Amino acid sequence: MQSLKEQLQHGGGVSLSFSGNFYNGYFDTAKTKFNTLGIKWRYREAGSSTWSAWTSLVLNTGFKYGTGNTYFSGNGTSLQEISLGTGFNYKKNYVFELCYNDKLSSVTYSQTVKEGEPCFDYGKDKNGNNYLNVNGEFYKKNEKLIQTNMITFAKNNDQSLAKDTKVTLELNEVIAQIGDKLSTSNYGVKIGKGVSKVKVSGIAWIEAGWSTNGSGYRWLQILKNGNTYKDVVAMAMLPEAVNVWGSPSIPSVLVEVKEGDLIFMAVAVSVDGSCRAGSYGKASTYLTVEVVEWWRWEELKVIEIVLTIAGFLNAISVIINCVINTKKPAEKAIQKKLSEILEPLDNKMDDTNKYIKKIDKNECMNFLVNFLADVENGIEKDDVQTKRACEVYDHYVKDLQGNSYIHDKWTRVMIEGGKI
């Protein structure tokens, strides 16, 4: 069994794990000819024909013999991942070869390590808008923070309709529901916290007589909050036909909403009639609302911080501070008020900067731990890789005030070991 995977760290790292079986014993009864296992690896960029030099793994450092005729990667009591280096470009594909050889045979295994994908990235797009891209789902304690929310609210009884009068349909039964961001209220669907866009659709079974002049109508509306024409988000109409019944329907429509908005349906007919449940009951008249944009902002603190990083608060802070610094002494009252307004923004910036520094420090430590482990295990580093490691170490010590076990190991491996 072999496994290679890329680690997205400073410079890009690749790790290796493997295990297998070989004859771990003597070839002669005098026990003078013992079988030994050698393991080495090399790599090249995908599309290139130039291979790196072979790097041999050291027994009891890069791999160990297990019980019986087994072996595995690492230097522990069971299989472990080992680092093959941290100087790979995560934007490129690499082909690795792993060669096993003993006194009986030699086998080479090949695997492509594909370019890495970031867990998330953020910044500004070409139009200057803040963005955050997430490669996967947001979870908290195994619960998705971005969930499906949908409800179908139906009518299971008949309702009289007076001619030329808009009547709110008295929906009264939930057919199905998923999620907790939509609820029912006053014959409609109420929008919950954090929801900004929904898709709505509906249908109604209407029965009404014929008008005397042949110009009758039966129409259905989906409305938001009010009951005027300005509140209509979608509408469907059936002209008068031979049948006294009909079912105007509204396909899916995208609607912008906010917390507390109410989505409901209303109908009107030109002749007295009714909205029927009929023999089909709640399958005849219903409203469906589906959330298509919702963020649980109170949980997604990382997103809030990232959007802050993008520059919004920085810009406000600069503008307001410029105003404060140019005020005349006579306007101290205004200056004080502006300072009060700015205080929560300054506090927010402090929290953001602390969070950024923590991420930066952890990434530097991860890189340096892997780099020093490589050097200690005899994995050669070229001048560029060593220079990059020195830059990261200087940033860790001078800019981030890092002074932990990393500092001690750097001194022992790199300085006392004569690597720099």
- Count Cβ atoms below 10 Å from residue 281 Cβ, excluding itself: 14
List alpha helices for 270-325, DSSP H.
301-309, 312-325
pLDDT digits (tens, 9 = 90+) for 359-402: 778 888 888 888 888 888 888 888 888 888 888 888 888 888 77
> Rounded to whole angstroms, how far apart are CA atoms 265 and 387?
68
Tell the residue number behind the tokens 């803040």, with chain if given: 130
Q: Which residue in 298, 348, 351 sits closest to 140, CA to CA?
A: 298
Q: Which residue in 91, 137, 93 sits closest to 117, CA to CA?
A: 91
SS3 label, residue 394: helix
**Half-sphere exposure in the Cβ direction for 363 (13 Å, CA):** 15
> Exposed/middle/buried for 232, CB within 10 Å: 0-12, 13-18, 19+?
middle
Between the CA of residue 214 and those of 209, 240, 269, 275, what are the distances in Å? 11, 7, 13, 21
pLDDT digits (tens, 9 = 90+) for 402-415: 777 888 888 888 88
**Over 90: is that where the pLDDT of 312 sits?**
no
Q: Determine the pLDDT at residue 2.
A: 53
Q: Which helix (H) or strand (E) holds 376?
A: helix 332-376
- Count Cβ atoms below 10 Å from residue 221 Cβ, excluding itself: 25
Question: Taking CA 235 as the corner, what is the angle to CA 232 and CA 240, rounded to the nearest 5 degrees?
Answer: 135
pLDDT digits (tens, 9 = 90+) for 27-57: 888 888 899 999 999 999 999 999 999 999 9
Q: Evaluate if pTM is beyond 0.75.
A: no
